[in-house]
């Protein structure tokens, strides 16, 4: 039996894809198709894919030409697959002529003619949907956000609003933004979606107003500091068919998501412990809002959603108890907090510091091995799976596009265009759980002062 293999994204499956699959099938008796997964597409900078991997796989199967579908999720996989499946022919479109000649060492390489006048890029252009995002708040994180928007297909900035007009004018000049709105209400009216980069306590009323007025919302993390507020906002979004997404950049990072997938697949056995840390050693003179009790300053509010992310993704939201141990400054703001979370068969800890330094790594302990992500783990571009037998250790390397906000923007836009109410990378349930944990510090519940 002669085996043929080919690869592609197969986004917006069209006549050109079908013709290529038919021609590939005619080369042999058994056709294997590798479909790129979402994380691999993001890693390669393909941020404009409309259909998710499950939709693309199903579309490929429905052509009737394919005997087996596999998922392509790392660089170099083609060689591994050719050897694994004992492939005779590697087939690919003629626009790649010469690029895969190196595979002739392993099998025959055939470049197939492509169908003229049709492509996924062309179809995306013809059916182009542009999501106009209004930026609310022109501070440090918003400056990073504005620089990332052009990297995402189908997203554009409709304009900005800030209560400080001088800051808004400077922001508009720096980012070549034409429209400065005179009010938040005007921005909402002129936008399809809003990005909230305001101080924490402003998130809830602004998000609620935008959602009630039919606008999608991408809200900086922490989205809100009370669980009931989070539940209400997600309820409003669901009732109105809108996307509400918490802008936790790590949650949408390709490498972090691959890490979670590997752990959930059992590569280190059952997870029994997670330890995650993050800290910033800034002088108090540089931390105005971050250490201001009137603006919900403090290490847990400022950074807590990041170490909580892997804990909730891997162990779930069904924890029995959380104890918080904090050191407060003279204003009553936590400059250091350590949390211990108890589950049925696991325990997790997180530690956070503003002006207190700790090793910012992530360790996930399992019954067969453990995962290690070095500092700064929240900008995941490398991690290791380690075992008792060190010969089994494996290292994983990825691309991280600093500052990483393009991943959350792309996920947000993708959810809107594809009519997905939420993202599995940070679910409403997980976001709500984070808000309740934030509220625990506010209420000083199971709280111990150091």
5-23 pLDDT, tens digit per residue, is 999 888 877 788 999 999 9
Average pLDDT over residues 228-256: 96
**What is the predicted pLDDT for the residue at 186?**
98
Q: Which of 249, 279, 309 is the last residue of a domain?
A: 249
**What strands, in cross-sheet order, belong to the sheet with 334-342?**
394-397, 382-386, 370-373, 362-366, 271-280, 347-354, 334-342, 321-328, 447-449
Is 135 found in the same domain as 111? no
Q: Which of 197, 221, 249 is the last residue of a domain?
A: 249
Q: Confidence class of residue 124 from pLDDT cuts 50, 70 and 90?
A: low
Is 323 found in the same domain as 269? yes
**What is the predicted pLDDT for the residue at 355?**
83
Is 135 found in the same domain as 116? no
Average pLDDT over residues 100-114: 94
Q: Is residue 419 part of a domain?
A: no
Is 205 found in the same domain as 319? no
Is 103 found in the same domain as 34? yes
Domains of the chain: total: 3
Average pLDDT over residues 170-186: 97
Q: What range does the domain containing 47 cover? A: 3-122
Q: Is residue 332 part of a domain?
A: yes
Query: DSSP string of 142-168?
Result: HHHHHHHGGGSTTEEEEEEE-S-HHHH
How far apart are the C-alpha atoms of 50 and 398, rounded to whole Å?
A: 22
What is the domain-level CATH number for residue 8?
Answer: 3.40.50.620
- How many beta carbons lie within 10 A of that of residue 397, not counting itself? 10
Helix (H) or strand (E) run with residue 350 in it: strand 347-354
Is 270 found in the same domain as 367? yes
Q: Confidence class of residue 412 from pLDDT cuts 50, 70 and 90?
A: very high
The mean pLDDT of the chain is 91
Q: Is residue 149 part of a domain?
A: yes
Q: Confidence class of residue 201 from pLDDT cuts 50, 70 and 90?
A: very high
**What is the predicted pLDDT for the residue at 289?**
78
Write the pLDDT tens digit of every residue in 423-447: 999 999 999 999 999 999 999 999 9
Q: Which of 94, 122, 150 is the last residue of a domain?
A: 122
**What is the predicted pLDDT for the residue at 33?**
95
pLDDT greater than 80 at residue 128: no
Is 287 found in the same domain as 229? no
Q: How far is CA 251 from CA 301, 307, 430, in A?
A: 17, 11, 11
How far apart are the C-alpha atoms of 256 and 263, rounded to whole Å?
A: 11
**What is the predicted pLDDT for the residue at 121?**
56
- How many beta carbons lie within 10 A of that of residue 47, not counting itself? 20
Is 152 found in the same domain as 201? yes
pLDDT greater than 60 at residue 317: yes
Q: pLDDT: is 157 or 115 the higher one?
A: 157
Is 264 found in the same domain as 325? yes
What is the domain-level CATH number for residue 245?
Answer: 3.40.50.720
Instruction: Report CA 128 to chain centroid distance, whole Å.
Output: 23
Q: pLDDT: is 76 or 449 the higher one?
A: 449
* Pairing mode, strands 244-247 and 216-220: parallel
Q: Please, are residues 113 and 20 in contact by the beta-carbon 8 Å criterion?
A: no
Write the pLDDT tens digit of every residue in 295-315: 999 999 999 999 999 999 999
- Give the per-residue SS3 of 212-223: HCCCEEEEECCC
**What is the predicted pLDDT for the residue at 353?**
94
Is 388 found in the same domain as 328? yes
Q: Is residue 412 part of a domain?
A: no
Q: Is residue 425 part of a domain?
A: no
Q: Is residue 18 part of a domain?
A: yes
Average pLDDT over residues 340-345: 97
Q: Is residue 450 part of a domain?
A: no
Q: pLDDT: is 116 or 195 the higher one?
A: 195
Q: How far is CA 18 from CA 48, 51, 63, 123, 262, in A?
A: 21, 16, 7, 15, 32
Write the pLDDT tens digit of every residue in 23-82: 999 999 999 999 988 665 555 555 556 667 778 888 899 999 999 999 887 778 999 999
Average pLDDT over residues 399-428: 90
Write the pLDDT tens digit of every residue in 266-286: 999 999 999 999 998 765 555
Ramachandran angles phi, psi of 228, nearest 5° = -65, -35
Is 374 found in the same domain as 277? yes
Average pLDDT over residues 404-418: 91
Ramachandran angles phi, psi of 115, nearest 5° = -80, 125
How far apart are the C-alpha atoms of 80 and 86, rounded to whole Å?
A: 10
Q: Please, are residues 309 and 338 in contact by the beta-carbon 8 Å criterion?
A: no
Which range is least confidently modeled, 144-148, 411-415, 445-449? 411-415
Is 385 found in the same domain as 259? yes
pLDDT greater than 70 at residue 119: no
Write the pLDDT tens digit of every residue in 366-390: 999 999 999 999 999 999 999 999 9
Q: Taking the model in full, what pTM does it have?
A: 0.81
Q: Is residue 438 part of a domain?
A: no
Residues facing residue 68 across a β-bridge = 32
How far apart are the C-alpha atoms of 284 and 211, rounded to whole Å?
A: 36
């Amino acid at each position: 039996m002669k085996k043929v293999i080919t690869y592609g994204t197969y986004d917006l499956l069209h006549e050109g894809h079908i013709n290529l699959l038919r021609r590939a099938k005619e080369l042999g008796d058994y056709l294997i198709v590798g479909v790129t997964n979402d994380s691999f597409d993001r890693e390669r900078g393909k941020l404009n894919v409309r259909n998710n991997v499950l939709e693309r796989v199903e579309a490929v199967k429905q052509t009737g030409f394919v005997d087996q579908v596999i998922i392509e999720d790392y660089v170099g996989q083609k060689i591994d697959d050719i050897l694994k499946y004992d492939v005779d022919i590697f087939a690919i479109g003629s626009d790649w002529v010469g690029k895969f000649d190196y595979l002739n060492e392993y099998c025959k390489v055939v470049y197939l003619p492509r169908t003229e006048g049709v492509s996924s890029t062309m179809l995306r252009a013809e059916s182009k949907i542009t999501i106009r995002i209004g930026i609310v708040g022109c501070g440090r994180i918003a400056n990073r956000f504005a620089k990332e928007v052009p990297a995402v297909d189908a997203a554009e900035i409709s304009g900005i609003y800030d209560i400080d007009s001088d800051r808004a004018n400077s922001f508009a000049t720096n980012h070549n933004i034409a429209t400065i709105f005179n009010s938040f209400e005007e921005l909402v009216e002129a936008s399809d979606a809003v990005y909230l980069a305001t101080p924490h306590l402003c998130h809830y009323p602004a998000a609620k107003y935008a959602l009630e007025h039919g606008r999608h919302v991408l809200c900086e993390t922490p989205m809100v500091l009370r669980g009931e507020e989070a539940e209400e906002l997600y309820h409003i979004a669901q009732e109105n068919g809108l996307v509400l997404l918490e802008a936790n950049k790590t949650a949408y990072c390709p490498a972090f998501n691959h890490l979670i997938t590997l752990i959930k697949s059992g590569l280190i056995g059952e997870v029994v412990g997670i330890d995650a840390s993050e800290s910033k050693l800034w002088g108090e003179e540089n931390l105005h809002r971050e250490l201001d009790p009137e603006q919900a300053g403090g290490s847990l509010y400022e950074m807590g959603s990041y170490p909580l992310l892997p804990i909730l993704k891997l162990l779930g939201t069904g924890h029995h108890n959380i104890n918080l141990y904090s050191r407060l400054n003279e204003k009553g703001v936590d400059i250091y907090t350590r949390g211990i979370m108890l589950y049925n068969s696991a325990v997790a800890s997180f530690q956070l510091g503003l002006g207190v330094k700790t090793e910012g790594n992530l360790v996930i302990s399992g019954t067969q091995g453990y995962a290690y992500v070095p500092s700064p783990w929240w900008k995941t571009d490398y991690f290791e799976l380690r075992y008792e037998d060190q010969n089994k250790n494996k290292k994983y390397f990825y691309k991280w596009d600093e500052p990483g906000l393009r991943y959350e923007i792309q996920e947000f836009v993708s959810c809107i265009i594809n009519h997905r109410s939420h993202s599995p990378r940070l679910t409403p349930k997980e976001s709500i759980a984070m808000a309740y944990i934030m509220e625990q510090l506010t209420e000083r519940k199971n709280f111990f002062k150091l």
